[in-house]
């Protein structure tokens, strides 16, 4: 359920990148800005959904991050193939070309539940 929220943010972020960021900033800065925005949205989603997730330890948080990562990859490849995009073209998003830092967003996706729990737990101590 929470991953669907992330998916909506990712789609809206893609629209923003294509419609605004590329034309306003250029391709490389647009990719980087888009990745930062999406990474922050993923982290915020993890942070605010922690109580609903109900994970009790690091292992569960990493499993949730892994699930989000696998769902993201499954969506990326399925959606790409459904649109007739070749495997080479899909894989090019993972090559850091033209400032595309998509693989870093995937790392954020994986670590977001764990890191959000660390930040939230630390903020409760102060």
Please write the tens of the pLDDT for every residue from 21-44.
999 999 999 999 999 999 999 999
Contact between residue 39 and residue 9 where contact means Cβ atoms under 8 Å apart: no
**How many CA atoms, within 13 angstroms, populate the side-chain half-sphere of residue 39?**
16
Q: Is the pLDDT of residue 95 over 60?
A: yes
Q: What angle do CA 38, 44, 49 make, to 5 degrees?
A: 130
Which 3 state secondary structure label does DSSP give 24?
helix
Positive or negative, the CA dihedral 99, 105, 111, 115 is positive
Residue carrying structure tokens 């400032």: 99
Confidence of residue 105 (pLDDT cuts 50, 70, 90): very high
Q: DSSP letter at 57?
A: S
Confidence of residue 15 (pLDDT cuts 50, 70, 90): very high
What pTM was estimated for this model as a whole? Answer: 0.90
For the chain, the structural domain boundaries read 2-123
């Amino acid at each position: 359920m929470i991953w669907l929220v992330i998916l909506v943010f990712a789609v809206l972020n893609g629209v923003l990148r294509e419609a605004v960021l590329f034309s306003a900033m250029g391709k490389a800065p647009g990719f980087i800005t888009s990745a930062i925005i999406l990474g922050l949205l993923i982290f915020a989603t993890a942070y605010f959904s922690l109580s609903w997730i109900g994970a009790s330890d690091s292992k569960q948080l990493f499993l949730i991050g892994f699930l989000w990562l696998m769902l993201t990859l499954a969506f990326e490849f399925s959606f790409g193939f459904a649109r007739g995009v070749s495997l080479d073209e899909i894989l090019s998003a993972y090559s850091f070309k033209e400032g595309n830092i998509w693989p870093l967003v995937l790392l954020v996706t994986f670590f977001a539940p764990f890191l959000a729990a660390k930040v939230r737990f630390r903020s409760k101590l102060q």
